[in-house]
């Protein structure tokens, strides 16, 4: 039997024939994730396997180790940085069949879930008892908690409630040795949980997660404020934060977004506004009323042309609908889009937005903006048609300008989408060789054979083990120290 055939038959032995895909037509869907072709190369894996237990995954890891092929863990494939694509070939381990909420401990406010549980399902399930799972990425109707753990996902409400790493208490992980280990923030020792969260599937495969569930606040209000332009809306953001108010969410949308969203979803955004802010305030009922009044006053003072608030579930959902469906509405404007994810210091929002529009003009590309203004987390969305080569080239070039600018003014490469393959080429903009060497130390610890999700995070050509050794040697020599 040829090596690939033996691999397939071994995988079938472990997970069952129906759980292993290996024909080119079956694998077509696994060549992609949610990221943009061009920014991320597509690739076909050798096989995709859909296991149902940690034991099966441990077996799969041992097979991959023996055959020396990579393993790419995958959730719902909604990621936007190419993290679930098999750029170096190998086996995609899709965790979508491990989708059970194993147990919920309301008294201690935790839930034990399998990685394939859909984010929103956990909130819906625990919502019956007045709880929710706080990380709420826009893809929450589709994305999995395992994927959230891999990417350290955020969402609008992480402004107040924190990102995924703030809500993970423990993980069951299949390691590169094919062992199943439990790691926990509650045990003594190093915080391996935090190392795994956000590691983009490069350190192991998460097979269970113990997560925190959060009690729903007594009252929630949403304020919609329309502004003449981004500048004035940004001033309102700064003023709200400056008043010591931490909203549950603080979102901004610009003209282009409003004009795409409003005709489609009728959320009540004024079509002539230059920017719309959505401010969600939650907490004790009396506090919420008082804070809302303050926020409304701040918005009016910052020249808001219209301020409305909603407290009932239906009204709030309508105001949010436009924001949550914004990306879906972009199909009305262009066949394709490239959704960016960068972060700048909040006070740098006005100048950053000016630069974004300058880039749009320079490259003759429409750019729509809907973003987490409270976090300074931008999501410029470049609209294009992928069949037009020149547009694709302009999008990629404009992206470089955008990312570089955000880093130059003190920002970050990514706030919640991850580095993946999309931004690995930019890592050296932010991190020098010593920084990368420290990160490589983590990779070496967990996965010295570089089996899990290769070609991610680290710049192309970077070899975790050797570079660290070389670096150490170079430094030692600089100090006149030689090995004894």
Partner 1 sequence: VTSPSMTISDRTPTVDRLSRIESPESAAGVAEALAQCAARDVPVVPIGGGGALSLGNPTSDSAIGLSLLRLNRVLDYQPTDMTLSVEAGVRLADIQRLLGERGQMLPVEAPNPEQATIGGLLATALAGPRRYGAGTLRDVIIGVTVAYPDGTLGKAGGLVVKNVSGFDLMRLHYGALGSLGVITSANFKVQPIARMEFTWQLPVAELSQADAILATLRPPSVRPVALAVLRRSGRWVLAARFEGRESGLRAVRSHLATLADSTEVAEGEESAQFWSAFMNARAFDDREEVRLRLGVKPSGILAATSDVMHQFGIVGVDPARIEIEPGIGQITVGWRHKADVTEAIISEVRRGARVTILTAPDAVKAQFDVWGDEPQSIDLMRRLKHEFDPGRILNPGRFVGRI
Site for partner 1 in 126-185 (CB under 8 A): 151-152, 154, 158, 162-163, 165-166, 175, 181-184
Complex with partner 1: residue 217 or 274, whichever CB lies closer: 217
The answer to whether 192 contacts partner 1 (rule: CB under 8 A) is yes
DSSP assigned state of 33: -
Do 117 and 71 touch, CB atoms closer than 8 A? no
Q: Which member of 61, 298, 302, 343 binds partner 1 (CB under 8 A)? A: 343
d(CA 454, CA 90): 10
Q: How far is the CB of 379 from partner 1 (least distance, A)?
A: 12
Give CA–CA dist 366/334, Å, rounded: 9
Question: What's the closest the beta carbon of residue 410 comes to partner 1, in angstroms?
Answer: 6
List the interface residues with partner 1, window 201-230 (CB under 8 A): 215-218
Both tokens of 120, joined, read 């929103």
Strand partners, 105: 110
In the complex, the smallest distance separating the C-beta of residue 281 from partner 1, rounded to whole angstroms, is 12
- The answer to the question of residue 415 lying near partner 1 (CB under 8 A) is yes
Task: Return the ∠ at Cα 457 (arms to 400 and 148), rounded to 5°.
Answer: 105
Shortest Å distance, C-beta 293 to partner 1: 10
| Positive or negative torsion for Cα 365, 370, 376, 378 | negative
List Cα–Cα distances, 391 to 54, 214, 379, in angstroms.
45, 44, 19
**103 beta partners:** 112
User: Which of residues 65 and 346 has its CB atom nearest to partner 1 in the complex?
Assistant: 346
Distances (CA, A) of 18 to 49, 50, 72: 9, 9, 19
Q: Does 479 bind partner 1 (CB under 8 A)?
A: yes
Interactions with partner 1, residue window 417-456 (CB under 8 A): 417-419, 423, 427, 430-431, 434-435, 437-439, 441-446
Q: Closest approach of Cβ 383 to partner 1, in Å?
A: 25
DSSP string covering 153-167: ---TTHHHH--GGGG
Binding to partner 1 by CB under 8 A, coded x per residue (else -) over 257-296, reads: --------------------------xxxxx-xxx-----
Contact of 216 with 127, CB cutoff 8 Å: yes
Helix (H, G, I), strand (E, B) or coil at 133: coil
Residue 175 or 305 with smaller CB distance to partner 1: 175
Using CB under 8 A as the binding rule, the residues of this chain from 85 to 114 that contact partner 1 are 105, 107-108
Nearer to partner 1, 203 or 256 (CB): 203
Determine the 3-state secondary structure of 286 from DSSP: helix
Please, which residue, 190 or 463, has the CB nearer to partner 1?
190
With binding defined as CB under 8 A, does residue 375 bind partner 1? yes
Q: Tell the smallest beta-carbon distance from residue 311 to partner 1 (Å).
A: 15
Tokens representing residue 55 in the block:
């034991």
SS3 109: coil
Q: How far is the CB of 39 from partner 1 (least distance, A)?
A: 16
Q: What is the Cα–Cα distance from 53 to 69, expressed in whole angstroms? A: 21
Nearest approach, Cβ of residue 476 and partner 1 (Å): 7
Which range binds partner 1 by CB under 8 A, 115-123, 300-308, 351-359, 468-476? 468-476
Task: Give the residue among 479, 339, 348, 464 at the shortest CA–CA distance from 410.
Answer: 348
333 binds partner 1 (CB under 8 A): no
Report d(CA 86, CA 201) in Å as an integer: 12
Q: How many residues bind partner 1 (CB under 8 A)?
A: 90
Span 40-59, contacts to partner 1 by CB under 8 A:
none
Binding test (CB under 8 A) with partner 1, winner from 19, 88, 101, 245: 245
For partner 1, the closer of residues 242 and 331 by Cβ is 242
């Amino acid at each position: 039997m040829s090596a690939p055939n033996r691999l397939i038959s071994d995988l079938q032995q472990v997970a069952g024939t129906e759980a292993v895909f290996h024909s080119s037509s079956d694998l077509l869907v696994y060549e992609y994730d949610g990221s943009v072709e061009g920014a991320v190369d597509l690739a076909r894996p050798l096989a995709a396997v859909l296991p149902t237990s940690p034991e099966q995954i441990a077996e799969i890891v041992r097979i991959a180790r023996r055959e020396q092929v990579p393993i790419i863990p995958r959730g719902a494939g909604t990621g936007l940085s190419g993290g679930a694509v098999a750029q170096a070939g190998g086996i995609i381990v899709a965790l979508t069949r491990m989708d059970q909420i194993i147990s919920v401990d309301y008294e201690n406010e935790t839930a034990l879930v399998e990685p394939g549980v859909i984010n929103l399902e956990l909130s819906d399930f625990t919502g019956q008892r007045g709880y929710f799972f706080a990380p709420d990425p826009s893809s929450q109707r589709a994305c999995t908690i395992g994927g959230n753990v891999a990417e350290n996902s955020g969402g609008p409400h992480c402004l107040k409630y924190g990102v995924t790493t703030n809500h993970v208490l423990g993980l069951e992980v299949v390691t590169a040795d094919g062992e199943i280990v439990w790691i926990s923030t509650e045990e003594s020792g190093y915080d391996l949980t935090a190392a795994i969260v956000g590691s983009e599937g490069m350190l192991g495969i998460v097979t269970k997660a113990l997560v925190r569930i959060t009690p729903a606040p007594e009252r929630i209000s949403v304020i919609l404020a329309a502004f003449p332009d981004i500048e004035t809306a940004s001033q309102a953001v700064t003023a709200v934060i400056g008043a010591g108010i931490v909203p549950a969410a603080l979102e901004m949308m610009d003209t282009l977004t409003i004009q795409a969203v409003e005709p489609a979803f009728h959320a009540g955004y004024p079509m002539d506004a230059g920017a719309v802010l959505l401010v969600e305030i939650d907490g004790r009922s009396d506090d919420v009323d008082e804070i809302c009044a303050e926020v409304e006053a701040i918005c009016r003072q910052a020249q808001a042309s219209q301020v409305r608030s909603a407290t009932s579930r239906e009204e709030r959902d309508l105001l949010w609908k436009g924001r949550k469906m914004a990306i879906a509405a972009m199909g009305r404007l262009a066949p394709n889009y490239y959704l960016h994810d960068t972060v700048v210091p909040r006070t740098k929002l006005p100048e950053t937005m000016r630069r974004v529009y300058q880039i749009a003009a320079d490259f003759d590309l429409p750019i729509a903006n809907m973003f987490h203004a409270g976090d300074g987390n931008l999501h410029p969305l470049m609209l294009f048609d992928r069949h037009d080569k020149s547009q694709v080239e302009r999008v990629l070039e404009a992206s470089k300008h955008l990312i570089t600018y955000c880093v130059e003014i003190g920002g970050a490469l990514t706030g919640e989408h991850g580095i993946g393959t999309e931004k690995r080429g930019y890592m050296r903009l932010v991190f020098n060789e010593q920084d990368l060497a420290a990160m490589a130390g983590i990779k070496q610890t967990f996965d010295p054979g570089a089996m899990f999700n290769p070609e991610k995070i680290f710049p192309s050509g970077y070899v975790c083990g050797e570079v660290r050794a070389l670096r150490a040697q170079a430094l030692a020599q600089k100090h006149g120290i030689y090995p004894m």
